[in-house]
A and B are shown apart, each in its own frame.
Chain A
Amino acid sequence: MNKENHQVLLEIKDLHKEYDTRTVLDGIHLRVHKGEVIVVLGPSGCGKSTLLRCLNGLESIQGGDIQFNGESLVGSNVNWQKTRQKIGMVFQNYDLFPHMTVIENILLGPIKVQKREKKEVMEQATQLLERVGLSDRKDSYPRQLSGGQKQRIAIVRALCMNPEIMLFDEVTAALDPEMVREVLDVILGLAKQGMTMMIVTHEMGFAQAVADRILFIDEGKVCEMSEPKEFFTNPKTERAQQFLNIFQF
């Protein structure tokens, strides 16, 4: 399905990011349409995580513009607390709050930040937990869960805020291989439901299955941007070919 004529949800224009004097992102352009799934690929250290972190204000940027729903996310008067409720993010290390139970983790944002009714949030949380197959773990503490379970809870925690876009940064990289699948299935389910997503991953099969477009970054620059089938069978740039060869074992 072509989503390019959907409304533009997120627009990144000429994004520059520097750590001290080192340029990490060097003029990134990207338009994310509603319902679109962008998979970000690239060698280690090319700036994938940094890109996602800039999008929800965990990193400041040194140039360019980011627009979310037509509003700029650059400058000192951005209300990040409000924006972050709309931009869900899940990290590699499933950072659940260890002193809270699963359900407390999930309810914290909706109730304390969004000030929603507990009953209504509880219903939504229950549904989401069912969807990821963890409705019986409500009252467990994070340390009683496996990595894959924790990561699915972290996804539910982000989803329960009703975000308009989800950012996933290598959410399966820290998992044992047999748990990768259960987490990727959840994300594939989200894609089917039309959730807008930007996904950083090293799982190439998954990338091909879930992506509408592949964004290939090298040394902080957009090196290639194409449909997954084309990217994987017929990469245009040499850097992308080299990158894909690493996975050809």
Chain B
Amino acid sequence: MQNLGINVLFEGTTLQRLFEGLMMTAGIAFLSIIIGSFLGVGMGLLRTSKSKVVQFICRFYLEVFRIIPILVWLFIVYFGVTNALDIHLDGEIVAVIVFSLWGAAEMGDIVRGALESLPKHQIESGKAIGLSFWGLYRYVLIPQAVRRMLPGAINLSTRMVKTTSLVVMIGVIDVVKVGQQIIERSVIKVPTASFWVYGLIFILYFIICYPLSTLSKKLEAKWEN
């Protein structure tokens, strides 16, 4: 009987392991996006500060994350920082730290762009009704900025989900790593294993990222009216 390649997915604990790998990927991405977004809003506010020093530091922080590849950051923190401080951090933790800091830098840039794109009149008419600095941000600027930054933020989130595949390099077993293990084990028996396994992984990534873009479309439509 001809061995159907797709069966490779249903042997033993294969599906369960892939699912666990997926949860690792999604977990790291999800946590990092949440933490990164909060830090990013703060970063964005700082970047609209009038202080040149604050501006420079924030800008420097962003550029450092843009210039140095994320993979290198993972190594720096996983091997370098833990070594220097003589502590042990699990790869998962390191991944969340690095992705959160990266998310904060990029999200900060998106928030800054959105805040700066708001007309200056909005600030003045907010001030004219006596709003405080925080009131102005809370009721007038941030709600409008959020609407403007949504496409960029969603785009960043899907980029973060995809970039989590780098975490294998610091020993985290994510969905891609699980897939490789399965392929290695079964490739002799099932030559098409890599097609099926990677095919499934493709669909799994789609399943994580698709809701994000649907969400953004929904919100955009809601704010449209």
Residue numbers of A with Cβ under 8 A of B are 56-58, 80-82, 84-85, 88-89, 91, 93, 95-99, 108-109, 112-114, 141, 154, 157-158, 161
A81 touches B144 (CB 8 A): no
Given the complex of chains A and B, what is the CA–CA distance between A161 and B130 in angstroms?
A: 9
B121 touches A91 (CB 8 A): yes
Given the complex of chains A and B, what is the CA–CA distance between A218 and B62 in angstroms?
A: 48
Q: Does B223 reach chain A (CB closer than 8 Å)? A: yes
List, in ascending order, chain B residues with CB within 8 A of A141's CB.
225
List, in ascending order, chain A residues with CB within 8 A of B122's CB.
95, 97
Using CB atoms, name the residue of chain B closest to A141: B225
**At the interface, is chain B mostly helix, strand, loop or mixed?**
helix
A112 touches B139 (CB 8 A): yes
Given the complex of chains A and B, what is the CA–CA distance between A71 and B200 in angstroms?
A: 73
A161-B124 contact given A99-B143, A99-B223, A112-B135, CB 8 Å threshold: no
A109 touches B223 (CB 8 A): no
B129 touches A108 (CB 8 A): yes
**Min C-beta distance of A59 to chain B, whole Å:** 10
**Min C-beta distance of B145 to chain A, whole Å:** 10
Using CB atoms, name the residue of chain A closest to B120: A95
Using CB atoms, name the residue of chain A closest to B133: A81
List, in ascending order, chain A residues with CB within 8 A of B119's CB.
95
A108 touches B139 (CB 8 A): yes
Given the complex of chains A and B, what is the CA–CA distance between A81 and B121 in angstroms?
A: 17
Given the complex of chains A and B, what is the CA–CA distance between A57 and B124 in angstroms?
A: 10
**Min C-beta distance of A229 to chain B, whole Å:** 32
Q: Does B149 reach chain A (CB closer than 8 Å)? A: no
Q: Does B127 reach chain A (CB closer than 8 Å)? A: yes
B: contact size bracket? 20 to 34
A91-B125 contact given A99-B143, A108-B139, A113-B135, CB 8 Å threshold: yes
Using CB atoms, name the residue of chain A closest to B225: A141
Using CB atoms, name the residue of chain B closest to A161: B129
List, in ascending order, chain A residues with CB within 8 A of B51's CB.
none
A113 touches B131 (CB 8 A): yes
Shortest 5 CB-CB contacts between residues of A and residues of B: A109-B129, A95-B125, A95-B121, A85-B130, A113-B130
A99 touches B144 (CB 8 A): yes
Q: Does B189 reach chain A (CB closer than 8 Å)? A: no
List, in ascending order, chain B residues with CB within 8 A of A157's CB.
129
Using CB atoms, name the residue of chain A closest to B125: A95
A97 touches B127 (CB 8 A): no
A88 touches B128 (CB 8 A): yes
Q: Tell me which of A97, A114, A141 has the highest count of chain B C-beta atoms within 10 A of its own C-beta.
A: A97
B127 touches A95 (CB 8 A): no
Q: Does B132 reach chain A (CB closer than 8 Å)? A: yes
A109 touches B121 (CB 8 A): no
Given the complex of chains A and B, what is the CA–CA distance between A58 and B100 in angstroms?
A: 38
**Min C-beta distance of B118 to chain A, whole Å:** 10
A98-B144 contact given A58-B124, A113-B135, CB 8 Å threshold: yes
A158-B129 contact given A95-B121, A97-B122, CB 8 Å threshold: yes
B223 touches A114 (CB 8 A): no
As a 0/1 sequence over residues 90 to 128 of chain B, the CB contacts with chain A under 8 angstroms (1 = contact) are 000000000000000000000000000001011011111
